[in-house]
Amino acid sequence: MTASTPVPVPASPALASADAAPAATTDTRPGTGPRTPGTGPRTRTVPWVAMYHSVGDRSDDPYRITVTPDRLEAQLRWLRRRGLRGVPVAELLAARARGAGGDLVGLTFDDGYADFVEHALPCLRRWGCGATLFVLPGRLAGDNAWDPLGPRKPLLSADGIRHAAAEGVEIGSHGLTHVDLTAADDTVLTAETAGSRALLAELTGAPVTGFCYPYGTVDARAADAVRAAGYTYACAIDPGPLTGPYALPRVHVGQRDTSVRLLLKTRLHRLRRRAAAGV
């Protein structure tokens, strides 16, 4: 805990009080409780997984996909002060499978922006956190050409992805080129799921177990394709009626998410999300 680290957080009594709340006396931790694995009420909630995209300059950010490095710093500080630690999704799921993981939250970064290495990695390292980076092996060193509005943001090259992996970041697939899988024909669906997994395994030299649906859109057919491709889990955003390890909901965390809003989001998550078998 490095409570004395100077981090810019908006000064308001409410924020200060939320920041100062001791984790041991509150019951707002996302995920399952660590004290009595398998029996506590928290085991009924699905794991809390935060969704980020870009970390950097957000002067032109029409999709609200960017947080500043200072904001990420404040959010990770908030997590750590609550006794929580950000980890890759695979690590979170493995811990929960053991009946543990009550002090863990998943951190995910979609699209594989080049600013991940420059801005997110140092921050994660400072706060002792890990993360999953969902990349597009069909757009290595390209940009976010699928977004009609907003600035073109560079994506990591193969070397950049390998660098992140070497730092302990879990590399997952976001498909090949960022297409809506619910609108893809069978050939495209197979290429985006199985094809991207094979390319990433070759690129990183390690098995790839995590998938993330572009735009968060998923249906049963897309989830089946992801499972058939050999992934062990997949992240959505709001998966609707689908539940389980191939339709993990995530919580968007953005620039506006100060301590109070994060607290509300964790509580809302506990109310909305019931656990499903296998997660």
Which CA distances in Å does 12 have to 38, 78, 123? 38, 15, 24
Contact between 163 and 122 under an 8 Å Cβ cutoff? The reply is no
For Zn ion, the closer CB: 102 or 195: 195
What is the x/- site pattern for Zn ion, positions 39-78, by CB under 5 A? ----------------------------------------
Check residue 110 for interaction with Zn ion (CB under 5 A). Answer: yes
Nearest-CB residue for Zn ion = 110
Give dist(CA 239, CA 243) in Å, integer: 7
Contact stretch for Zn ion (CB under 5 A) within 2-10, 40-48, 66-74, 107-115: 107-115
Check residue 111 for interaction with Zn ion (CB under 5 A). Answer: yes
For Zn ion, the closer CB: 19 or 110: 110
Angle at 276 (CA atoms; ends 273, 279), nearest 5 degrees? 100
Minimal distance, residue 65 CB to Zn ion, in Å: 8
Minimal distance, residue 192 CB to Zn ion, in Å: 12
**111's tokens:** 């699209």
Contact stretch for Zn ion (CB under 5 A) within 63-71, 109-117, 233-241, 261-269: 109-117
Contact stretch for Zn ion (CB under 5 A) within 28-36, 102-110, 137-145, 246-254: 102-110
Minimal distance, residue 129 CB to Zn ion, in Å: 21
Minimal distance, residue 112 CB to Zn ion, in Å: 9
Minimal distance, residue 119 CB to Zn ion, in Å: 18
Reference 253, options 264, 262, 263, 242; nearest CA is 262
The count of C-alpha atoms lying within 13 angstroms of the C-alpha of 178, restricted to the half-sphere facing its C-beta, is 17
For Zn ion, the closer CB: 28 or 255: 255
Query: Maximum Cα–Cα distance for the chain, whole Å?
Result: 55
**97's tokens:** 């499978």
C-alpha 14 chain-centroid distance: 27
For Zn ion, the closer CB: 237 or 263: 237
Minimal distance, residue 190 CB to Zn ion, in Å: 20
The count of C-alpha atoms lying within 13 angstroms of the C-alpha of 10, restricted to the half-sphere facing its C-beta, is 12
Give dist(CA 53, CA 178) in Å, integer: 13
* Beta-carbon contacts of residue 236 (< 8 Å; ≥ 6 apart): 213, 216, 217, 218, 242, 247, 248, 249, 250
H helix runs in 48-103, sequence order: 69-81, 89-97
**Binding residues for Zn ion, how many (CB under 5 A)?**
2
Minimal distance, residue 221 CB to Zn ion, in Å: 19
Binding interface with Zn ion (CB under 5 A): 110-111
